[in-house]
Amino acid sequence: MIAVDKCIVCDSDKQVSFGTMKNDPYYKRISGRTNYDVSYVACKDCGLVYQNPVLGEHEMEELYSEKYRSDLEDKHDRFLKQANYFREHLYPWITEHIHLNGEKSVLDIGCGAGTILMPFKDNGWETYGIEPTKNISEYGRQNFGSNIKTGFYDRYSYPDKKFKLIIFSHVLEHVLYPEKILHDIKENMDEESYLFIGTPNVTLPMMPGGILHGDHIWLFSDRTLKLYLEKLGFDIVVMDNWVPRGLRVIVKMSSNNADRQLNTQQADDYRAVKRLYKNIKLKEFEQFSKTVIVRNSVLVNKLCGNIDMNGIRLVKSREGIVNAVMATNDKKILLYKCKNPRNAASDIIKAIDLDGYKVIILFGYGLGYLPKVLLKTLREDQRLIVYEDNIPLLKSAFLYLNLLGFLNDKRVIIAINREKLISHLKEFIKETMTKDFLIMTNSLIDHDYLNRFKKIMDSL
């Protein structure tokens, strides 16, 4: 392993432990390795999150040339699906933001089977790809006719060739020496060329399985990525977030093409990044979900200050009904789509027979309509457990709906985390000698509760 003593963005040596992921699946594939822990630190000056220590060069080479992706059976449809996804969602975005006269040539670095290149090829571009993983690059060459080389990219891969567009999609976070490779990329660019970079956003950790794992070394936010690219002599043409894949940015070489001094006042507050992860509870959110943004809107806004993405806020309409609104650009999206959530909650409760249950567990407090109506219908000997681990949401809902009465009702328990829920459930099981709970979810906000609950029940 190699220790990283300096931040690649701001050169600071001040770092603070960010988190350790156990039993990493990528580390497990490397021969001779017995320790599978992946440790991350955050830079105290700019907020970049990065692995420390990192795998050595030989281990990296072994991982990416042989062991990164294993069997390719039944992958054909998956590759075609991927190509269609890029055709619909990435190709139009890139071509909308670049302006070329004449020749159209594109190089995809770390191209896999060449799925990003396919729509470019279909639209008359001259396409090139380079990919270190042998079986995948071979598969792409044979099946999709893409012009793919097998190997690790550097400035000698395409000597003297200038591409009008270089794609560097979800590779930056994987490479040991990103500064070197970005300097090499400039050798294949001229003043007209564009570089596309896609990489996860540490402040929007929404990819399936999360983004902290062995193959991800550098985790940028929009701020740290901007600082880094400007420092290395690139000008940003456009940058945004592409849910759920993360940041995407198009840059050109800056006219003086030199490395610059950077201003870390525009950096991330590493404490805010850490807090965000604490809220997200890392492994509990195994599936990506808009929930992550919804639940952490204030922090996400704070961290994504450069991006036009307003957070969630609660609004009160004339009828006294509270709803949550997410505004992106000019569009406003109501999180609770029904016009009158209070009536909708009554309808739901009317449709359920609560009589036979001693304990009702409601996953998600939501904005309080469902729990409030639910409580009205409960007998004295029934109990209502509301599981809600989003404290800011709870607080604002209480504030708007004045639910002190709800809180003070002896039949109500609010479990604010998994441990509390488990201990309450154990008590009830002891008291009532049954595991026959009625489970409800306030699923407008979180669709993942039931899976999580199944795990909890299995643990009882």
Q: Does residue 112 sit in helix, strand or coil? A: coil
Q: How far is the CB of 172 from Zn ion (least distance, A)?
A: 16
Nearer to Zn ion, 14 or 33 (CB): 14
Residues 6+ apart with CB under 8 A from 104: 120, 124, 125, 126, 164, 165
Q: How far is the CB of 199 from Zn ion (least distance, A)?
A: 16
What CA–CA distances, in Å, run from 229 to 141, 217, 257, 287, 345? 32, 17, 11, 30, 50
Nearer to Zn ion, 170 or 231 (CB): 231
Q: How far is the CB of 204 from Zn ion (least distance, A)?
A: 19
Nearer to Zn ion, 7 or 413 (CB): 7
Nearer to Zn ion, 46 or 136 (CB): 46
Residues 6+ apart with CB under 8 A from 456: 418, 421, 422, 425
Nearer to Zn ion, 220 or 277 (CB): 220
Nearer to Zn ion, 9 or 300 (CB): 9
Q: Does residue 242 sit in helix, strand or coil? A: strand
In terms of residues, how long is the chain?
Answer: 460
Q: How would DSSP label each residue in 367-405?
A: TSHHHHHHHHH--TT-EEEEE---HHHHHHHHHHHT-HH
Nearer to Zn ion, 196 or 228 (CB): 228
Q: How far is the CB of 279 from Zn ion (least distance, A)?
A: 23
Residue of 229, 230, 233 whose CA lies nearest to 218: 229
Residue of 75, 61, 197, 57 whose CA lies nearest to 138: 75
Q: How far is the CB of 29 from Zn ion (least distance, A)?
A: 30
Q: How far is the CB of 200 from Zn ion (least distance, A)?
A: 17
Q: How far is the CB of 395 from Zn ion (least distance, A)?
A: 33
Q: How far is the CB of 46 from Zn ion (least distance, A)?
A: 3
Measured distance CA(306)–CA(268) in Å, rounded: 11
Strands 246-253 and 194-199, by their bridges, are antiparallel
Q: How far is the CB of 261 from Zn ion (least distance, A)?
A: 14
E strand or H helix that includes residue 149: strand 148-150
Amino acid (1-letter code) at residue 163: F
Q: How far is the CB of 248 from Zn ion (least distance, A)?
A: 22
Strands 49-51 and 38-43, by their bridges, are antiparallel
Cα end-to-end distance, the chain, whole Å? 40
Determine if the peptide bond prior to 53 is cis (ω within 30°). yes
Residue owning tokens 């690219």 = 229
Give the binding site for Zn ion (CB under 5 A): 7, 9-10, 12, 43, 45-46, 48
Q: Which two tokens stand for residue 339?
A: 């016009």
CB 442 within 8 A of CB 364: yes
Q: How far is the CB of 3 from Zn ion (least distance, A)?
A: 16
CB 116 within 8 A of CB 86: yes
Q: How would DSSP label each residue in 158-169?
A: STT---SEEEEE
For residue 255, how far is the Cα from the chain centroid? 33
Residue of 399, 388, 346 whose CA lies nearest to 364: 388
Q: How far is the CB of 177 from Zn ion (least distance, A)?
A: 16
Nearer to Zn ion, 136 or 202 (CB): 202
Nearer to Zn ion, 218 or 406 (CB): 218
Alpha helices in 282-417 (DSSP H): 291-295, 297-303, 341-350, 369-377, 391-401, 404-408
